[in-house]
């Protein structure tokens, strides 16, 4: 199992991320993405061993992010790790690449979790969301942290991880969405708004748990680039400011 990345593909992935300001050579995300790509063919146990031996410093950097999320009872920093990994493995957001990207993301994050004595990455997510009690690598403490904006400076599409994974879809408050009751239908509304410039059918509420208090206003005023838009099928992709 495993996807082999040729040098041209690695360079293309890096250029996409550097151009968006997501990665720099020395940033934690730059190091994390490079390691994730180079470990793409490894299983969870092999990755766990690397985190415990040659990549202790990288593990410590991830510890800081995970512990901060757990202490503040804020799952968004952990979700952002997953999203960035998904983009690293599938930078074009192609439907064909989702399944492989999901599996490789799971291997990477479960490997990290096992290196910390945890059964899986989900145990960290459960603790950050208050589902489980503290264990292992981090202690919890209540804090009223605001929800960071998950869309800022990101390439978001109808195929985005946050709109296809059930763990993320449950964050959407459909009681505040007027013209759709599922993401497939809402994607058509969103795509039509982007195409026509008429955002009146896009509801303001519903995405508060993504850090967006007024989704209509945000979509209308914070798109820096439209990558594609097909209202008939609900296919859309934009890069946010």
Does pLDDT of 33 surpass 90?
Answer: no
Does pLDDT of 32 surpass 90?
Answer: no
- pLDDT by residue (tens digit) across 105-114? 999 999 999 9
Does pLDDT of 55 surpass 60?
Answer: yes
Domain assignment of residue 22, yes or no = yes
Indicate the number of domains in the chain: 2
Do 115 and 27 lie in one domain? The reply is yes
Q: What does the pLDDT average to over 52-68?
A: 89
Alpha-carbon gap, residue 120 to 101, rounded angstroms: 17
| pTM, to two decimals | 0.50
Q: What is the pLDDT of residue 44?
A: 92
Alpha-carbon gap, residue 144 to 230, rounded angstroms: 40
Kindly list the distances between the CA atom of residue 154 and the CA atoms of 16, 24, 209, in Å, as whole numbers in the listed order. 11, 15, 16
Q: What does the pLDDT average to over 66-83?
A: 86
Alpha-carbon gap, residue 98 to 226, rounded angstroms: 21
Domain assignment of residue 146, yes or no = no
Do 166 and 122 lie in one domain? The reply is no
Do 72 and 173 lie in one domain? The reply is no
Q: What is the pLDDT of residue 141?
A: 31
Do 186 and 117 lie in one domain? The reply is no
Do 13 and 119 lie in one domain? The reply is yes
Alpha-carbon gap, residue 240 to 226, rounded angstroms: 9
Q: Domain residues for 50?
A: 7-128
Domain assignment of residue 54, yes or no = yes
- pLDDT by residue (tens digit) across 152-169? 888 889 988 778 877 778
Domain assignment of residue 68, yes or no = yes
- pLDDT by residue (tens digit) across 34-46? 888 999 999 999 9
The overall average pLDDT reported for the chain is 80
DSSP class per residue in 139-194: ------PPPP-SSTT-EEETT-HHHHSHHHHTTS-GGG-SS-SSHHHHHHHHHHHH
Do 123 and 11 lie in one domain? The reply is yes
Q: What is the pLDDT of residue 140?
A: 32
Higher local confidence (pLDDT), 97 or 189? 189
Torsion-angle region of residue 94: left (phi > 0), alpha (psi -120 to 50) or beta? beta
Does pLDDT of 138 surpass 50?
Answer: no
């Amino acid at each position: 199992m495993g996807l082999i990345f040729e040098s041209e593909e690695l360079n293309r992935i890096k250029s996409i991320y550097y151009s968006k300001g997501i990665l720099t050579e020395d940033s934690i995300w730059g190091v994390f993405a490079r390691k994730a790509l180079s470990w793409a063919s490894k299983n969870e146990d092999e990755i766990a061993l690397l985190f415990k031996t040659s990549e202790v410093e990288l593990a410590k950097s991830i510890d800081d992010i995970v512990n901060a999320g757990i202490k503040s009872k804020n799952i968004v920093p952990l979700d952002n790790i997953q999203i960035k990994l998904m983009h690293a493995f599938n930078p074009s957001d192609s439907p064909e690449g989702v399944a492989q990207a999901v599996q490789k993301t799971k291997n990477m994050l479960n490997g990290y979790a096992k290196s910390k004595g945890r059964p899986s990455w989900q145990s960290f997510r459960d603790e950050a969301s208050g589902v489980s009690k503290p264990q292992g690598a981090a202690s919890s403490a209540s804090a009223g942290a605001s929800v960071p904006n998950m869309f800022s400076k990101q390439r978001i599409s109808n195929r985005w991880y946050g709109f296809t994974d059930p763990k993320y879809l449950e964050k959407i408050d459909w009681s505040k969405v007027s013209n759709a009751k599922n993401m497939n239908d809402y994607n058509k509304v969103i795509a039509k708004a982007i195409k026509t410039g008429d955002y009146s059918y896009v509801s303001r509420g519903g995405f508060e748990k993504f850090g967006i208090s007024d989704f209509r206003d945000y979509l209308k005023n914070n798109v820096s680039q439209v990558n594609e838009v097909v209202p008939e099928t609900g296919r859309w992709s934009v890069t946010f400011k």
